[in-house]
Structure 1
Amino acid sequence: MNFWDQNFSVDGFKYGTEPNAFLVQQAHRLPAGADVLVPGDGEGRNGVWLAQQGHHVTAMDGSSVGLEKARALAQERGVTIDTVLGDLADWAPIPGAFDAVVLTYVHLPPAIRQGAHRRLARGLRPGGWLVLECFHPLQLANSSGGPKDAAMLYSASLLREDFAGWLDEVEAWEGAVELAEGGGHQGQAHVTRWVGRRGAVGGTM
């Protein structure tokens, strides 16, 4: 059993069942009935919420336990989502298949991070949106969640480099927030919030 399967095998939902606050704030950007990819969706709180808004959701994760709980949550909420089991180290969406990609606290090691980010950007249609929230390196001073390895925490400047040539930056912010996302994210946190949009002509891999 992998790390995330163990994490999600507990009773209840580690990060709760309510959507990420930044995603809710940014959801107005999405067209009606959008095709949305949610990599690292875990137990499905964000993907299921997006499906409740009328979007067509593909929830991708490396944990079969998390995806099983995501499907159960969707059924409980009266919606359907597509689920894909995969590893962002090598998984890639079909190019141009999605109107939006939502990345919420998906922290990847440096060896695979930039390649994974660019493959996800390639999955966007022209005009498609990427909405991302993650822990900033200053999060190491807090106990509200996230990796304890600075190399897996992202600043806005790091994200700009990762998506350069692929996405135009629309919004970037770094700062302190108060998290209340289940037992996994509770309390004062330092986060990076980033929104990018794919232009009419994207980059090349």
Structure 2
Amino acid sequence: MPSPDWNDRFSDSEYAYGTEPNGFLVRQASRVSDPVLSIAEGEGRNAVYLAGKGHSVHAVDGSKVGLAKAVKLANQNGVQISTEVADLSDYEPAESAFGSIISIYAHLDGSIRRRLYPLLVQALKPGGILILEAYSENQIGRGTGGPANVDLLMSCSKIEQEFGILETVLLHETEREVHEGKFHTGTASVIQYVGRRGS
């Protein structure tokens, strides 16, 4: 299955993944500190949620259509976020700039992850937190969301290899009910991870 055209997917007035925040992020929200970088933010549901909790959030995505909807959602909720259209294959965040980095269902080619993830580690301030949820390799064939290419899916071993320099706060594979818009619906196998940069 080819990767979706994200501008096309986000072009509908409906929010493809809903407007409510990711459940894992909600449970980890007490760990978040400013400023926050959210990669592959899409239509803004997670950025708007964090902004509503008083955080300063910078949302990055490759889709200008998605980010326009993110700004609209922020306005509807009376909050502000900053946005940046960027291709994550060559995106370079500023070093030691963020208290938290959020990666929710940002399914990237292995070659992109191996370039980007070390840059994300460097972009964290000392003591900063990275929060990630992604479909696991065991999600293939379930039909409840996520890519069909195993290279785009995550495993605990991939996390350990690609974020190994971070201190692991939480890392596991689990099954949970995901109901986030029409593309993420049903019982799913996910990787959940929280890592901390050393001080």
- Structure-1-length-normalised TM-score: 0.94
Alignment map for 1:28-67 (pairs within 5 Å): 28-31=30-33, 34-67=34-67
Distance in structure 1 (CA, Å) of the matches to 2:82 and 2:32: 18
Distance in structure 2 (CA, Å) of the matches to 1:92 and 1:197: 20
AA in 1 matched with 2:100: A
In structure 1, the residue corresponding to 2:96 is in which secondary structure?
coil
AA in 1 matched with 2:196: R
Q: Is residue 189 of structure 1 aligned with residue 191 of structure 2? A: no
Distance in structure 2 (CA, Å) of the matches to 1:45 and 1:61: 13
Counterpart in the other structure of 1:70: 70
Distance in structure 1 (CA, Å) of the matches to 2:97 and 2:46: 19
Q: Aligned pairs, how many?
A: 196
Distance in structure 2 (CA, Å) of the matches to 1:111 and 1:86: 17
Counterpart in the other structure of 2:125: 125
In structure 2, the residue corresponding to 1:169 is in which secondary structure?
strand
RMSD: 0.9
How far does residue 11 in structure 1 lie from its aligned partner after superposition? 2.3
AA in 2 matched with 1:73: L
Structure 2 residue ranges without an equivalent (≥5): none
Using the aligned pairs only, state the percent identity: 43
In structure 1, the residue corresponding to 2:140 is in which secondary structure?
helix
Counterpart in the other structure of 1:105: 105
Structure 2 contact 141–148 (Cα < 8 Å) conserved: no
Counterpart in the other structure of 1:172: 171
Distance in structure 1 (CA, Å) of the matches to 2:31 and 2:109: 29
**Runs (4+) off by over 3 Å:** none
- Structure-2-length-normalised TM-score: 0.96
Structure 1 residue ranges without an equivalent (≥5): 201-205
